[in-house]
Amino acid sequence: MSQQLSEQELVRRESLTKLRELGINPYPQALYPVTILSKAIKENYEEGKKVVIAGRLMSRRIQGKASFAELQDSEGRIQVYFNRDEICSEDDSTLYNEVYKKLLDIGDFIGIEGELFKTQVGEISVRVKKFDLLSKSLKPLPLPKTDSEGNIHDAFTDPEMRYRQRYADLVVNPHVKEVFIKRTKLFNAMRTFFNERGYMEVETPVLQPIPGGAAAKPFITHHNSLDMPLYMRIANELYLKRLIVGGFEGVYEFSKNFRNEGMDRTHNPEFTAMEIYVAYKDYNWMMEFTENLLEYCALQVNGKTEAIFGEHKVDFKAPYKRVTMRQSIIDFTGFDIDGKSETELAEWCKSNGVEVDDTMGKGKLIDEIFGEKCEGNYIQPTFITDYPKEMSPLCKEHRDNPELTERFELMICGKEVANAYTELNDPIDQKERFEAQLKLAAKGDEEAGQFIDYDFLRALEYGMPPTSGLGIGIDRLVMYLTNNQSIQEVLFFPQMKPEKKAVELSDAEKTIFNILKANNKMELGALKSESALSGKQWDKGMKGLSKHGIVKVEVDGDTKFCVLQS
């Protein structure tokens, strides 16, 4: 879509032409021999050391024949000093006066050969001996400035623009870049932790014929040659367990999951989960594993186990408190759910301000109570254990109480971060639980599963060793480790509605356009009378069409024609 260029964009395009006229290729095929990054220069300063660096020009302070600029590379900024006498011969100052001062702009990528020195005020700088344009920037970047007291002026903060133009956000906001560096550190830390224990990273299908392993609304797509619907995965659990059946001791996957549900500060349609399954373990073992894992991750990402999240200070140091769901509800309400019937639970809810409806079974009711009264109170990492059976269809029954399951969730700052089970491996029990879920779904519980994965049941029939599985919401964990309140801040490219709808014509424009389409070229007066538009509407329609570049008025002697542009 063609768009009007701003003055500054036009100036940069002119510079492009002038550079070419001077024989400088603004987009060279350059293998540029960078020898050092800005951070290393500052950390290991050596007076007079020759360096070759490259990056974006981010600021300039020109003072006649001398000038200071800042070059930004992947690790930060370094000051560079341009002096006319250093880079130009006596009789030709073009390189400094024209190329550097006029034709380069903030945002351009340049390469610099020079040597290190310290200015009179002691700042480590590179004295430029030679520079090359590596890539011209045609669009002015947002330009936050930091003053001597560290205050940032003109910060690029509008979330909409930052998310839509993450590339610009990353260029000008180093703290944003830092979030994503930490995100990657978290992945690396988890991989290391798992790999050191001999567990294997695997991949399982994103396109699935049955969207299993969780209860959520899937995205549906269609495979043309198979002529069948496929679902984008909502979880990878059932596939990973198949691999445990196949004989792997421990498997894990970082999985992009897709859920066709609401979007808000904590939900993006695609998000990342880490799931791991380990054979011959139970959920008690997994709790210890999880707290050790998270302590290790926090250390690797932030260098310490404490993390600030909003008003809270969270400590990831193991071990974490463990509370059963029953005890938790007693703690916060005084109500003991043990042995209560569905009716008793529903009545308690109604008289205690917990919203319920008829579709809710026992498990769901308990979950509502917990969600309403307890969940939000757990700031420090806390394991909530022993969930009702009904809401955990893939989890093994509790060894001490058949109403419960061996399941835990890890709560941090009032939100769930991890979920784990002693996995159900009794194929007959599993089949019955799936069928119970189908009934719940029929009753109207949208969270209940609506499909039975018979292939998964077949796998279980071959036998799955006792196994414990854990899922961690990676995006949420990154939020905690980087003190971000919204998931958009920890995703490079959060889902957004499209910026602009396609050019739509107004009614007047459409009328004129349709008449003209039949004739291609018409005398203006004839076109106007055929359109039967009022003077104002006609004027508006014509102006609109010319603005979109759809029509053009041509003058031939005394006659004016309106011509349709292709």
Q: List binders of RNA among 359-398 (CB under 7 A).
A: none
Q: Pick from 29, 89, 153, 402: which binds RNA (CB under 7 A)?
A: 153
Q: Which is nearer to RNA, 165 or 519 (CB)?
A: 165
How many Cα atoms occupy the beta-carbon half-sphere of 481 within 13 Å? 32
Q: Pick from 109, 163, 277, 289: which binds RNA (CB under 7 A)?
A: 163
How far apart are alpha carbons 224 and 205 in whole angstroms? 18
In what order do the strands lie in the sheet containing 270-279?
200-201, 250-258, 270-279, 467-473, 415-422, 407-412, 382-385, 321-324
Short-list 467, 466, 464, 484, CA closest to 475: 484
Q: Per CB under 7 A, does 129 bind RNA? A: no
Q: Per CB under 7 A, does 292 bind RNA? A: no
Short-list 53, 70, 62, 126, CA closest to 96: 62
Q: Which is nearer to RNA, 331 or 507 (CB)?
A: 507
The b-or-e profile of 65-103 (16+ CB within 10 A means b, else e) is eebbbbbbbeebbbbbbbebeebbeeeebebbebbbbeb
Q: Which is nearer to RNA, 245 or 268 (CB)?
A: 268
Q: Which stretch binds RNA (CB under 7 A): 45-53, 122-130, 179-187, 314-322?
A: 122-130
Residues 295-324 within binding reach of RNA (CB under 7 A): none
Q: Pick from 216, 330, 452, 550: which binds RNA (CB under 7 A)?
A: 216
Q: Which is nearer to RNA, 279 or 533 (CB)?
A: 533
Q: Per CB under 7 A, does 157 bind RNA? A: yes
Short-list 556, 493, 550, 499, CA closest to 524: 556
The token pair at 378 is 């757990």
Residues 477-496 within binding reach of RNA (CB under 7 A): 485-486, 488, 496
Q: Which is nearer to RNA, 265 or 321 (CB)?
A: 265
Q: Which is nearer to RNA, 58 or 564 (CB)?
A: 58
Q: Which stretch binds RNA (CB under 7 A): 20-28, 38-46, 199-207, 213-221?
A: 213-221
How far apart are alpha carbons 135 and 147 in whole angstroms? 28
**Taking the complex as a whole, how short is the minimal distance between the CB of residue 69 and RNA, in angstroms?**
8
Burial class (CB in 10 A: 0-12, 13-18, 19+), 421: buried
Q: Are 469 and 279 in contact (CB under 8 A)?
A: no
Q: Per CB under 7 A, does 236 bind RNA? A: no
Q: Pick from 43, 90, 91, 160: which binds RNA (CB under 7 A)?
A: 160
In what order do the strands lie in the sheet containing 220-223?
207-208, 228-232, 220-223
Q: Which stretch binds RNA (CB under 7 A): 256-264, 282-290, 317-325, 333-341?
A: 256-264
Q: Per CB under 7 A, does 175 bind RNA? A: no
Q: Per CB under 7 A, does 96 bind RNA? A: no
Residues 419-438 within binding reach of RNA (CB under 7 A): 419
Q: Per CB under 7 A, does 2 bind RNA? A: no
Q: Which stretch binds RNA (CB under 7 A): 3-11, 223-231, 243-251, 397-405?
A: 3-11
Q: Which is nearer to RNA, 4 or 351 (CB)?
A: 4
Any idea how long the chain is? 566
Other C-beta atoms closer than 10 Å to the C-beta of 237 total 24
By three-state DSSP, how is residue 144 classified? Answer: coil
Q: Which is nearer to RNA, 155 or 452 (CB)?
A: 155
Other C-beta atoms closer than 10 Å to the C-beta of 275 total 24
Binding mask 12-51 for RNA (x = CB under 7 A): ----------------------------------------
Q: Pick from 11, 206, 515, 524: which binds RNA (CB under 7 A)?
A: 11
Q: Per CB under 7 A, does 355 bind RNA? A: yes
The token pair at 327 is 């005890």
Q: For 143-249, list the strands marked E by DSSP.
A: 145-146, 152-153, 200-201, 207-208, 220-223, 228-232
Q: Per CB under 7 A, does 92 bind RNA? A: no
Q: Are 106 and 1 in contact (CB under 8 A)?
A: no
Q: Per CB under 7 A, does 446 bind RNA? A: yes
Q: Per CB under 7 A, does 140 bind RNA? A: yes
Q: Per CB under 7 A, does 117 bind RNA? A: yes
Q: Per CB under 7 A, does 447 bind RNA? A: yes
**Taking the complex as a whole, how short is the minimal distance between the CB of residue 311 and RNA, in angstroms?**
12
Q: Are 323 and 382 in contact (CB under 8 A)?
A: yes
Torsions phi, psi for 110 (to 5 deg): -130, 160
Q: Which is nearer to RNA, 245 or 398 (CB)?
A: 398
Distance of CA 92 to the CA centre of its chain: 50
